[in-house]
């Protein structure tokens, strides 16, 4: 059986819980290490090492460098491992101003600045199906172009809101695009593959899967320009209102990572490495 391990750094254990929901791996894979569910002091040699959580402490750094030597393939799992997550926001005094400004951001080390990463599995957390695509190395698996592609809501041309609604305001129509209803949904530019688990029941996409392939190797301003065009085409909401909402602390947990794929002074993460 193919053996894999899960190295949990500073995080919330959400990625681990999502993996446990992917019951298919239990018959075909040997889990050699995962502190959430088993007691073990040492990580055995494994074919695949899933790294979750962010590098927040010296202990995180030590464990990461030590354990990757025992793995044939390293997979960065979730927003925290790929872009720092909550930990990467923790030291910022004013998120509204700095979360997408490269010069002012406080960069905690992402795991690919410390060790070589072979594959990226974004999401907060990734769905069980995405885990299985990684573990099984499904060559024919391709994430949807965007969350919109999976959502499938109608986009009526005669429905053009003039202002944004808050996340908890109004009655959400079940079959109409959330943008057409005045919600700040960024699914048009966010990587698909999540089955639109948020938008289908009526919660706007906040970008936890990171940029779609069209933006992975571009600076964050390209994404900003694109999402503005979406709202200009589908709504009559003033551009300044959209801009203020996009840069609000409410969305900062996930949107700041759009700058990390092609920013931070390192080579862009290639789209073929991202599941």
Whether 261 contacts 268, CB under 8 Å: yes
Q: Give the residue-averaged pLDDT of 59-67.
A: 93
Q: Residue 103 has what pLDDT?
A: 52
Reported pTM: 0.90
Same structural domain, 74 and 181:
no
User: Is 63 a domain residue?
Assistant: yes
Of all helices (H) and strands (E), which one includes residue 134?
Answer: helix 128-135
* 137 Ramachandran zone, left/alpha/beta (phi>0; psi -120 to 50): left
Q: Residue 140 has what pLDDT?
A: 76
Whether 105 contacts 133, CB under 8 Å: no
pLDDT in tens, 113-128: 889 999 999 999 999 9
- Write the CATH number for 25: 3.40.50.700
- pLDDT over threshold 70, residue 168: no
Same structural domain, 130 and 151:
no
Same structural domain, 121 and 168:
no
Whether 107 contacts 54, CB under 8 Å: no
Same structural domain, 6 and 116:
yes
- pLDDT over threshold 90, residue 260: no
Q: What are 215's two structure tokens?
A: 């933006």
User: Is 53 a domain residue?
Assistant: yes
Same structural domain, 110 and 40:
yes
- pLDDT over threshold 80, residue 249: no
Same structural domain, 50 and 160:
no
pLDDT in tens, 172-183: 999 999 999 999
- pLDDT over threshold 80, residue 256: no
CA 83 – CA 210 distance, rounded (Å):
10
- Structural domain boundaries enclosing 207: 147-259
State whether the Cα torsion 90-93-95-97 is positive or negative: negative
């Amino acid at each position: 059986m193919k053996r894999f391990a899960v190295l949990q750094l500073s995080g919330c254990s959400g990625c681990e819980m999502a993996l446990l929901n992917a019951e298919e791996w239990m018959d075909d894979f040997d889990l050699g290490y995962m502190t959430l569910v088993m007691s073990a002091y040492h990580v055995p040699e494994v074919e695949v090492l899933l790294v979750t959580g962010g590098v927040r402490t010296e202990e995180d750094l030590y464990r990461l460098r030590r354990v990757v030597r025992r793995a044939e393939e390293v997979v960065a799992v979730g927003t925290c491992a790929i872009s720092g997550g909550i930990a990467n926001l923790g030291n910022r005094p004013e998120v509204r101003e700095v979360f997408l400004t490269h010069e002012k951001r406080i960069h905690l080390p992402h795991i690919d600045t410390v060790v070589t990463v072979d594959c990226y599995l974004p999401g907060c957390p990734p769905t069980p199906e995405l885990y299985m695509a990684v573990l099984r190395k499904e060559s024919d698996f391709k994430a949807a172009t965007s969350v919109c592609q999976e959502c499938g809501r109608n986009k009526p041309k005669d429905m053009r809101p003039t202002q944004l609604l808050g996340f908890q305001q109004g009655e959400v129509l079940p079959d109409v695009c959330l943008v057409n209803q005045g919600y700040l949904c960024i699914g048009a530019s966010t990587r698909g593959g999540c089955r639109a688990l948020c938008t289908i029941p009526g919660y706007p996409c906040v970008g936890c899967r990171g940029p779609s392939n069209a933006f992975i190797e571009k600076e964050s301003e390209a994404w900003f320009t694109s999402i503005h065009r979406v709202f200009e085409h589908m709504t009559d909401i003033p551009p300044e209102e959209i801009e203020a909402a996009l840069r609000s602390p409410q969305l900062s947990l996930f949107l700041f990572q759009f700058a990390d794929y092609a920013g931070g002074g390192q080579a862009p993460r290639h789209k073929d490495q991202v599941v």
